[in-house]
Amino acid sequence: MQVLVINCGSSSLKFQLIDSDSENVLAKGLCERIGIDGSSITYKTDEKVTREIDMPTHNEAIKAVIDMLTDDEVGVVSDMSQIKAVGHRVVHGGEFFSKPILLDEDALDKIEKCNDLAPLHNPANIIGIRACMEIMPGIPNVGVFDTAFHQTMEEASFLYAIPRKFYDKYKIRRYGFHGTSHSFVSKRIAEIIGKPYDELKTIVCHLGNGASICAVENGKSVDTSMGLTPLSGVVMGTRSGDIDPGILEVIANFEDVDVKEVTRILNKESGVYGLSKNSSDFRDINKAINEGDEKAIQTMDVYVRAIVRFIGAYVAVMNGVDAIVFTAGVGENNPNIRKMVCDYLSYLGITIDDQANKICGEEVKLSTDSSKVDVYVVPTNEELAICQETVKLVEN
C-alpha cells in the first residue's frame, strides 16, 4: 500500500510517500514558506527538484505535493487514487489519544482542544489534515500522536506537585513527546535482542535537536524526560531542558522582560547553543572541542551529565534495565557522547566495544559480550512508524 506521510508545521510541510510492503521511500520532500512570499517545494526521488510555487495556504502545498507525485517527468504514481491513505504526525493528543486513530470531525475537535498545550504545532497539524481531507476526499487520514505512547504512564510519573486544580482544570501534567520514535525503537530492540517486548526493560535515548529519554517497561512507557511541553528534560540543541523554575523570575527581573520572553530564551537561545556560545549542532561542538575550546568542552560535559542523570533515575524507576539504546541525529552519529555516557555507567557493569562504537548511522551493538546491560544504536524512523501505524488502522 502506498501511504503519504505528512508532518505539517506552521509554514512548512514535510512529506514522504512510502510503499508499506517494501518499506521503500518512493519520494520525499518539503514545502517551505507556506503563506509567505517566495514559497517553494523541494522534491526528491533519485534526483532533487525544486520548484517555486505560490502557496498562500496549506491547501496549495498539498496540491503541489500531489502534482509532483503524479508529474509526467518526476512523478512516482500515475494518479492520486494510488495513494491509499495519509498518515499525519500530530504533536499533542492530550489525554484523548493513547494510540493512532482514523481522523474525523470528532477527532479534529479533540486535537483542537489540545491547541493550548502545543500552540506552535497542533494548529498547523489540523490545517494539514483539513487540507488533505479537502484535496483528497475519500482517502482515509490517520493521526499518529507524539504523546500517545506515553499515555501508559501512571500518576506517580505524570502528576506535577503543584495545586491539584491545575491538573483538574487545565490538564497540566507530564505528557512526554517523541513517542512514535520511542515506541519504534523500543519494539525494534526487543526484536534484535530476541526477547518478548512485554518482558523487557529498555531506556531509549532519543538525542536529536530536541531530545528525550524514555523508560519502557514491559512494552509501556513508564517515565519520560519531556513534560507538559518539549522544553523539559535533558539539554537540547537550543532548549535548556530541566532548570530550577525559580530561574524564570530571576531572569525576568534582571533583564526586565516578561515570562514569554524568558520562555523564548529557554527554547531558542539555550541548551548546547546557549552554553557553548557557538552552535546547536554537535558537529560544530566536536570541531571546537578538537581546537581546545573550553566552553565547548564544558557544554559537552553538561550535556552528557544530564543524560546520565536520567538513565540513572530510570534504572531506579524500573528497578533494573536490560537495554540502553541511542537514536536520532546525535545518538546515531556521535561516538564521543555515547562513550562518555557509557563510561559513567560502569557501576551497572556496562562495557562497550570501542571499534563498534565508531560505526555511525546504522544498527549496531555497542556493548561487549561481557557487559551486564546491552547497549545498542537503533536508527529511528518516525515516518516509517507513522506509515506502519496508518496501514494497521486502514486495513482493519
State in angstroms the smallest separation of the CB of 369 from ligand ADP.
28
Residue 376's alpha-carbon distances to 79, 184, 281, 328, 382, in angstroms, are: 42, 14, 23, 12, 18
- One-letter identity of residue 245: P
Nearer to ligand ADP, 83 or 231 (CB): 231
State in angstroms the smallest separation of the CB of 73 from ligand ADP.
30
Q: Pick from 29, 93, 100, 210: which binds ligand ADP (CB under 6 A)?
A: 210
Q: Does 95 bind ligand ADP (CB under 6 A)?
A: no
Question: Of 98-106, 120-128, 206-214, 250-258, which part binds ligand ADP (CB under 6 A)?
Answer: 206-214
The Cα–Cα gap between 285 and 155 comes to 38
Q: Pick from 283, 358, 372, 392: which binds ligand ADP (CB under 6 A)?
A: 283
Nearer to ligand ADP, 117 or 205 (CB): 205
The Cα–Cα gap between 37 and 43 comes to 19
Contact present, 264 and 231 (Cβ < 8 Å): no
Nearer to ligand ADP, 140 or 179 (CB): 179
Question: Of 99-107, 208-216, 302-310, 366-374, which part binds ligand ADP (CB under 6 A)?
Answer: 208-216
Contact present, 89 and 382 (Cβ < 8 Å): yes
State in angstroms the smallest separation of the CB of 159 from ligand ADP.
28
Question: Under rule CB under 6 A, which residues in 100-129 are in contact with ligand ADP?
Answer: none
The Cα–Cα gap between 344 and 353 comes to 15
Number of chain residues interacting with ligand ADP (CB under 6 A): 12
Question: Of 13-21, 55-63, 108-116, 207-215, which part binds ligand ADP (CB under 6 A)?
Answer: 207-215
Parallel, antiparallel, or unpaired for β 323-327 and 211-217? Answer: unpaired
Contact present, 231 and 267 (Cβ < 8 Å): yes
Question: Under rule CB under 6 A, which residues in 230-259 are in contact with ligand ADP?
Answer: 237
Q: Pick from 227, 241, 271, 329: which binds ligand ADP (CB under 6 A)?
A: 329
The Cα–Cα gap between 204 and 93 comes to 21
Parallel, antiparallel, or unpaired for β 374-377 and 364-365? Answer: antiparallel
Nearer to ligand ADP, 88 or 239 (CB): 239
Q: Does 205 bind ligand ADP (CB under 6 A)?
A: no
Q: Which of 67, 109, 146, 223 is catalytic?
A: 146
Nearer to ligand ADP, 131 or 204 (CB): 204
Question: Of 87-95, 139-147, 193-201, 326-334, which part binds ligand ADP (CB under 6 A)?
Answer: 326-334
Q: Is 54 a catalytic residue?
A: no
Nearer to ligand ADP, 70 or 279 (CB): 279
* Nearest residue to the partner ligand ADP, using Cβ: 329
Q: Pick from 68, 330, 337, 341: which binds ligand ADP (CB under 6 A)?
A: 330
Q: Does 282 bind ligand ADP (CB under 6 A)?
A: yes
Q: Pick from 13, 222, 328, 387: which binds ligand ADP (CB under 6 A)?
A: 328
Contact present, 314 and 203 (Cβ < 8 Å): yes
Question: Of 112-120, 256-264, 280-288, 349-357, which part binds ligand ADP (CB under 6 A)?
Answer: 280-288
The Cα–Cα gap between 346 and 18 comes to 41
Q: Pick from 19, 71, 281, 293: which binds ligand ADP (CB under 6 A)?
A: 281
Could you list the active site residues?
146
Binding positions for ligand ADP, rule: CB under 6 A: 208-210, 237, 281-283, 328-330, 333-334
